[in-house]
Structure 1
Amino acid sequence: MSGGDIAGLIAAGVFAILVALIAIPLVKLGRVFDETTAAIHELSDGITPMLTETTDAIRGANQQLARVDTITSNVADATGNVSALVALFAATVGGPLIKLAGFSAGVRAAFRAGRPRPRRNRG
């Protein structure tokens, strides 16, 4: 065997060791990819029912909001009706009450003006 043959054998051995050292992390990386794929499948299987439940909950919330909107509009109508009723009552009863109050104030003033006031002695 010549020196070139020995150098070739050494180079081939070093190359084989290098390939073996690189193969170990590649195998581990392949396992990581397999585990990642399995985890993604498990997550997608678990997320589907949750998304279905979330969709049902949102649908129910939207129905309740529609009911609340109806109730709110009815309350707004009732408030408007009460406001109109109060205005009507104030216009109907308020006018005569104001006239009655003015009349009674006038009568009181007339009675006070009609009788003399007693004078106080200072002293």
Structure 2
Amino acid sequence: MSGADIACLIAAGVFAVLVALLAVPIIKLGRVFDELRASIRTVADGATPLMDEVTSTVSTTHEQLKKVDGIAANVSDATANVSALSSLVAATVGSPLVKVASFTYGVRTAWAQRGSTARPSGRRSR
């Protein structure tokens, strides 16, 4: 064997050791990918029923919101009706009621002054 053959054998041995040292991390990386694939499969299997349940919940909530919208519309109509009724009552009864109250106050004041001989104490008496 010549010196070149021995150098080639040494280079081949170093290369084999290098390949063996690099194979260990590559094998570990392969195991990590296998675990990652299993974890993703587990998450996907658990997510499907969860998505079905969320879809059902959203549908039920949507139906309930439709009912609430109907109730809110009825309440809004009732509020408008009550407001219109109170305006009508105020316009119909309010003015005569104020007149009756004023008339009663005038009668009470006149009755109170009729019995007393003192001077009237109002602003016009000054």
The answer, yes or no, to whether TM exceeds 0.5 is yes
Structure 2: distance between partners of 1:33 and 1:43: 15
Runs (5+) with no aligned partner, structure 1: 119-123
Amino acid at match of 1:72: A
Runs (5+) with no aligned partner, structure 2: 120-126
* Identity fraction in percent: 56
TM-score, reference length from structure 2: 0.84
Residue in structure 2 matched with residue 117 of structure 1 by the alignment: 118
Residue in structure 1 matched with residue 14 of structure 2 by the alignment: 14
Amino acid at match of 1:62: H
Residue in structure 1 matched with residue 37 of structure 2 by the alignment: 37
Following TM superposition, where does structure 1 have runs of at least 4 consecutive aligned residues deviating by more than 4 angstroms?
Answer: none
Amino acid at match of 2:2: S
Amino acid at match of 1:19: V
Query: Deviation of residue 86 (structure 1)?
Result: 1.4
Q: Secondary structure at the match of 1:117?
A: coil
- Counterparts of 1:1-123 in structure 2 under 5 Å? 1-115=1-115, 116-117=117-118
Query: Deviation of residue 80 (structure 1)?
Result: 1.0
Structure 1: distance between partners of 2:9 and 2:110: 139
Query: Deviation of residue 109 (structure 1)?
Result: 3.4
| CA RMSD of superposed structures (Å) | 1.6
Structure 2: distance between partners of 1:67 and 1:2: 96
TM-score, reference length from structure 1: 0.86
How big is each residue's C-alpha offset from its partner over 1:2-55, in whole Å with a ceiling of 9 and x where there is no partner? Answer: 211111111110011101111111111111111111211111111011011011
Q: Comparing both chains, which one has the higher relative contact order based on Cα–Cα distances under 8 Å and sequence gaps of 6 or more?
A: 2
How many residues get paired?
118
Query: Deviation of residue 60 (structure 1)?
Result: 0.9
Structure 2: distance between partners of 1:35 and 1:111: 103
Query: Deviation of residue 105 (structure 1)?
Result: 2.1
Amino acid at match of 2:5: D
